[in-house]
Structure 1
Amino acid sequence: MQLDLIVENARLITGDPARPSASRLGVWRGVVVGVDEELDGLTARERLDARGRTVLAGFNDAHAHSVWFGQSRLDVDLEGARTAEEVHRRVRARAAELDPGAWVTCTGFDPGHLTGPQPDRDSLDAAASGRPVLIRHNTGHAVTVSGAVLLLAGVGEQVLQQPEGGRIITDAAGRPTGLLEETAMSLVTRLLQPESHEHIGACLARASQEYAAEGITSVTDAGVAGGWIGHSPLEFGAYQRARDAGLLRTRFQTMVTLDALRPVDGHPDDGTHLTLDAGVRTGVGDEWLQIGPAKVFTDGSMLGQTAAMTEDYCGHGHGRGYLQQDAGEMRRACLGAAAAGWALALHAIGDAALDFALDVIAEARGRFGRPVMPHRVEHGGVVRDDQVARMAELEVVMATQPNFISAFGGSVRERIGPERAALSYPAGRLLRAGLVLPGSSDRPVAGGRPLEVIQDFVLRRTENGEQYGPDAERLTVAEALHAYTVGSAEATGWGGRKGRLAAGQLADFTVLSEDPRAVPSDQIAAIDVVATAVGGEFVHGGL
């Protein structure tokens, strides 16, 4: 038998508890066939010398937004802007390059780190000389727009009715300021959508290229085809076209938003299912492109104080936040999807939203059994100990993002106080309770390079360098690596097929200049990604 590839002289971190380390890796037809002596007597079409570098399974980001991320590379970047005038300067510069009437779209805006007044409808009108301006907040749960955009969206000088699950922010006189929260964003985003297959494909290609350079081989995109997060009702088709055109260097799983599903009648014995036409549901696809859970937005963000909490926020006048939809309607829709065979992935940042999410999952499990891949809860901004125990009982996966801590943990702590911050974005508690813990970034809400997120799992330091929460929530480097490989595979229904460098698993691996376990914890992010391979084929760098 001749293999396609043998990598030699490597420091393999296999992720396999039966054989945690090795020095040789064999690949045939995109799959690992063995390591070390399991390869004795076998030849290979190609042999490569890793020169003592560290090789481990490819990183798997279990919660990202790739089209949005790719799109952000084309928008005006507001990251690092600390004053409204700096925002206006960048908007003004882009507007000068555009034709009259063309939109100025911006990303990476963090209003919590601005000094002085916020940009508003009038200041943006002036900066862009009347062109429409759309600023996406880094949380993804709010936008700030110019007066020209409000006019196009049909938002008048007075707000007569607020949308369910969102808010049009007004000033003391009742005039809209240009800030739109949660579901109110759809008033504007619908003006720019649906986006074309070509545009979505270009965004995916850009994102996938960056993923490969960072050692990422698999990504789950948390929301396509509907809601405020989707880009087109035909979005999954755009992924297929991008895959067919050879634009993707990464394996993708997509979560279809709950509102993209519709009632579909079948035989009287089968009833009516809330699903996609033809009964398409969670699990359809292959190792390159697959439909994952149905994505459900139960609440908002802590930075915007729209996440649903059981206690008030700290002195910011937002009460306890809110659910994005009537709880009864949301429950019925979730159970309708679960009845049709969908796994559920419920965005729940506040602890009140998490209570709701776990109630829904418990009912779905009780009525319809275990789904084809785990039910999930996304983010976990505040998670009480009783909720951790309940997630373990229900076999729920929680995808939490430690990079939120380094990006804006200090701002979050100001809003929720130190006691709730100690319960915020858990990691160590989840592992001790026996939960599957994946690695994920929610990119582009915050930076998503896996080595940076792994460092955040280990350090848990805020943007000001302060410790966030108790030490017991910090992971070891080995635990963080496990989360970003094995944990993510198990969370996305691919446990036993990827995440480890062991016989029978997909030959997805990354080559690092150094072993993350052997460098100081604050230098993990500085390690270079030398190469990335998917199915044994290099998609970045090489040996």
Structure 2
Amino acid sequence: MLIQRATLLDGRRVDLRVGASIVAMAERLSPERGEEVFDAAGGAVVPGLHDHHVHLRSTAAAQTSARVGPPWTNDPESFAVALRTATPDVDGWIRAVGYHESVAGDIDRRALDAIESRRPTRVQHRSGALWIVNSPGLAALGMPDHPDGRLFRVDTDPGHTLPPVEHRLTRLGATLSGWGVTGVTDATPGQSQADIDALAAAHHSGELPQRPHSLAALGVTAVPGVTIGPVKIILDDETLDLDDLTDRAARCHRADRGIAVHCVTESQLAVTVAALEAAGHDPRDRIEHGALIHDDYLDVLAELGVTVVTQPNFVAERGDAYLRDIPVRDHPMLWRVASLLDRGVRLALSTDMPFGDGDPWAAMRAAVHRGTVGGEILGPAERISAERALALFCGSAQRPDLARRVEVGQPGDLCVLTAAPAQALAELASDMVALTVVGGSATYPFDVTSTDAR
């Protein structure tokens, strides 16, 4: 593929020949026979974006599920309407996502029965850690006598398997391509070899054109089309066990795998840091989320060499609730970005979709502005430049903190925008994506021969 008249972020106008890698870059390149040609018309060209923490199957399912949390649903009445009008999955279940207690309190099976007593119904909390199931649903699961229908971490507990529904990734892959995303890291815990094989099949078929990387379980190996990263480990404050985490970290390191630890509270971060200090750290180790990081940990994280993969989009999406519900002393410690970079901590950005908005450009804007829906600024000292925000979505799967560049020899994964660099950086908007290329092939739009970006 030949991309003509693209503008690098440093202002140079270039033509690019792209295959599996960028094979040529010059002021002017002539089309070769059979080569697709795209006229960027001066638009900016950047490395294809990589979202470093997503949940692919959950996102695909969420795209066809009822949304029952803020901002879509905000009170008991609208919650009830959303469930009663929801379209069942192919297996007859009603699936709803994004619930938060601010809508209708701590609901249980009886609360759901009062709304929907005929069809099996499952409602996922926006944290992803809790499912609430009504009585018909519990009966279908073989748990008719469950006391309240509140199932915690069921997606990773083989004793409480929710009914499987095959959600194709085609729609999700197209959405990601439209945002300029060329790679994703699936952070779903407990992914098996079968899960990885299915992901590879989805990639090879074109269902998921992005390059998939997985934080799969220990013992799972890479297959053509899917790379494997650290082992995802979930922590909950009620069951924190330093010795167990230290042992798990050591076993993963001995197996030549890092660990990627879910840390959203101060306690979880403290135990993770202690475990890595005891077990010895691996340069592939990651902290997922880092929602709350106190000053005392900044230098420690830098010394450990771990990569923090965080989601500043939650500042924009949930910032007003944080300002209302979290102690004022902790506000500057939430979803930190600038202070981590300034102290030398390895850092990458992600969206955590579907639990966060999957648009990476919105996450970049949140990192730059730190604005809430209500117009407040949460953690102004954590703001970064647009250039830095973009670079934090341009890392590779194996080195999320190290931004790729548009130069010969780099992977042929690119994103071309309709706007020149200055405007693109000022707006950071996904609707400026004109072309997405993975391995030299366009994934958005699909037919680009002699296309003009404007």
Partners of 1:98 and 1:58 in 2: CA distance: 33
Partner of 2:255: 340
Structure 1 residue matching 2:381: 3-state secondary structure: helix
* Structure 1 counterpart of 2:231, from 281, 294, 297: 294
* Structure 1 counterpart of 2:438, from 493, 515, 534: 534
Amino acid at match of 1:253: H
Partners of 1:90 and 1:40 in 2: CA distance: 55
1:145 aligns with 2:145: no
Partner of 2:417: 512
* Structure 1 counterpart of 2:143, from 144, 154, 166: 154
Shift of 1:58: 0.8
1:83 aligns with 2:75: yes
Partners of 2:38 and 2:171 in 1: CA distance: 28
Q: Tell me: CA distance 1:413–1:335, structure 2 relative to 1, closer, same or farther (3 Å).
A: farther
Q: Tell me: CA distance 1:418–1:34, structure 2 relative to 1, closer, same or farther (3 Å).
A: farther
Partners of 1:526 and 1:540 in 2: CA distance: 12
Structure 2 residue matching 1:234: 3-state secondary structure: helix
* Structure 2 counterpart of 1:249, from 201, 205, 209: 209
1:502 aligns with 2:407: yes
The answer (yes or no) to whether the contact 2:19–2:441 under 8 Å persists in 1 is no
Partner of 1:492: 398
Structure 2 residue matching 1:241: 3-state secondary structure: helix
Deviates more, 1:507-516 or 1:424-433: 507-516
Gapped regions of structure 1 (runs ≥ 5): 14-19, 159-175, 262-274, 300-321
Residue-by-residue CA offset, 1:249-305 (whole Å, 9 max, x unaligned): 101101114xxx3xxxxxxxxxxxxx34xxx4xxx356x421111000123xxxxxx
Partner of 1:192: 163
Shift of 1:428: 0.1
Shift of 1:235: 0.9
1:92 aligns with 2:92: no
Deviates more, 1:413-422 or 1:146-155: 146-155
The answer (yes or no) to whether the contact 2:96–2:123 under 8 Å persists in 1 is yes
Shift of 1:107: 1.6
Partner of 1:132: 120
Partners of 1:463 and 1:68 in 2: CA distance: 25
Partner of 2:61: 71
Partner of 1:168: none
Shift of 1:412: 2.7
1:482 aligns with 2:386: no
Partners of 1:516 and 1:82 in 2: CA distance: 39
Partners of 1:71 and 1:29 in 2: CA distance: 33
- Comparing both chains, which one has the higher relative contact order based on Cα–Cα distances under 8 Å and sequence gaps of 6 or more? 2
Partner of 2:299: 389
Partners of 1:98 and 1:338 in 2: CA distance: 41
The answer (yes or no) to whether the contact 1:477–1:517 under 8 Å persists in 2 is no
Shift of 1:92: 1.4
Structure 2 residue matching 1:437: 3-state secondary structure: strand
Structure 2 residue matching 1:422: 3-state secondary structure: helix
Q: Tell me: CA distance 1:91–1:41, structure 2 relative to 1, closer, same or farther (3 Å).
A: closer
1:375 aligns with 2:285: yes
Partners of 2:159 and 2:101 in 1: CA distance: 19
Shift of 1:42: 8.9
Shift of 1:246: 2.7
Shift of 1:184: 9.3
* Structure 2 counterpart of 1:223, from 163, 168, 188: 188
1:424 aligns with 2:334: yes
Q: Tell me: CA distance 1:481–1:253, structure 2 relative to 1, closer, same or farther (3 Å).
A: same
Structure 1 residue matching 2:419: 3-state secondary structure: coil
Residue-by-residue CA offset, 1:214-261 (whole Å, 9 max, x unaligned): 11001001025x2xxx5x76211111221232322101101114xxx3
The answer (yes or no) to whether the contact 2:246–2:278 under 8 Å persists in 1 is no
The answer (yes or no) to whether the contact 1:130–1:148 under 8 Å persists in 2 is yes
Partners of 1:148 and 1:331 in 2: CA distance: 41
Partners of 1:529 and 1:455 in 2: CA distance: 15
Shift of 1:432: 0.5
Amino acid at match of 2:227: Q
Shift of 1:105: 1.0
Shift of 1:60: 0.8
- Residues 91-490 of structure 1 mapped to structure 2, 5 A cutoff: 91-94=83-86, 102-112=92-102, 114=103, 117=105, 119-151=107-139, 152=141, 154=143, 156=145, 158=147, 176=148, 178-182=149-153, 186=157, 190-193=161-164, 199-200=166-167, 202=168, 204-224=169-189, 226=190, 234-257=194-217, 261=218, 275-276=219-220, 280=221, 284-285=222-223, 288-299=225-236, 322-365=237-280, 370-371=282-283, 374-469=284-379, 471-485=380-394, 488-489=395-396
Structure 2 residue matching 1:208: 3-state secondary structure: helix
Structure 2 residue matching 1:24: 3-state secondary structure: strand
* Structure 2 counterpart of 1:9, from 1, 5, 8: 5
Partners of 2:156 and 2:95 in 1: CA distance: 14
Partners of 2:234 and 2:295 in 1: CA distance: 23
Q: Tell me: CA distance 1:484–1:7, structure 2 relative to 1, closer, same or farther (3 Å).
A: same
Structure 1 residue matching 2:187: 3-state secondary structure: strand
Partners of 1:343 and 1:98 in 2: CA distance: 37
Amino acid at match of 2:411: L
Q: Tell me: CA distance 1:32–1:150, structure 2 relative to 1, closer, same or farther (3 Å).
A: same
Partners of 1:461 and 1:535 in 2: CA distance: 36
Residue-by-residue CA offset, 1:418-472 (whole Å, 9 max, x unaligned): 1112111110011111223212000011102111111111011123221101x22
Amino acid at match of 1:456: A
Deviates more, 1:324-333 or 1:53-62: 324-333
Gapped regions of structure 2 (runs ≥ 5): none
The answer (yes or no) to whether the contact 1:25–1:35 under 8 Å persists in 2 is yes
The answer (yes or no) to whether the contact 2:286–2:309 under 8 Å persists in 1 is yes
Cα RMSD, aligned residues only: 2.8
The answer (yes or no) to whether the contact 1:58–1:216 under 8 Å persists in 2 is yes
Amino acid at match of 1:492: Q
How many residues get paired? Answer: 443
Residue-by-residue CA offset, 1:280-331 (whole Å, 9 max, x unaligned): 4xxx356x421111000123xxxxxxxxxxxxxxxxxxxxxx1545332232
Partners of 1:57 and 1:11 in 2: CA distance: 12
Partners of 2:373 and 2:156 in 1: CA distance: 28
Partners of 1:41 and 1:77 in 2: CA distance: 50
The answer (yes or no) to whether the contact 1:346–1:357 under 8 Å persists in 2 is yes
Partners of 1:424 and 1:351 in 2: CA distance: 11
The answer (yes or no) to whether the contact 2:289–2:308 under 8 Å persists in 1 is yes
Partners of 2:122 and 2:98 in 1: CA distance: 12
Residue-by-residue CA offset, 1:357-407 (whole Å, 9 max, x unaligned): 1222233436xxx45xx2100111110122111111111100110011111
